[in-house]
Amino acid sequence: MASITVPTIAGIGLAATGAAHFVAPDAFRSITEPAFPKDTRTWTYRNGASELVIGTAIAVPATRKVGLVALAGYVGFLGYRMATAR
């Protein structure tokens, strides 16, 4: 049996957080609204979908590198939105 690695656990965690955006979107409102004041709910779902896909990619060894590149782009995008929202 293969051991579970830290990147796999981190990917699963990110994917679970992404799924939570759909289950309890109001829990993410205070985080999402400053960067996405217009259509906050829509952006909550978009961010959730992004985190679900990126986390899944990171959790799977065959797609981990692509997932990490996507994560870097996603973090950059969120940072840009936070910086320009102020």
Q: What is the pLDDT of residues 5-48, one digit of tens each?
A: 999 999 999 999 999 999 999 999 999 999 999 999 999 999 99
CB count within 10 Å of CB 21 equals 22
Residue 39: burial class (beta carbons within 10 Å; 0-12, 13-18, 19+): exposed
Helix (H), strand (E) at residue 21: helix 6-23
Q: Binning pLDDT at 50, 70 and 90, where does residue 1 land?
A: low
> Rounded to two decimals, what is the model's pTM?
0.92
37-57: per-residue pLDDT in tens?
999 999 999 999 999 999 999
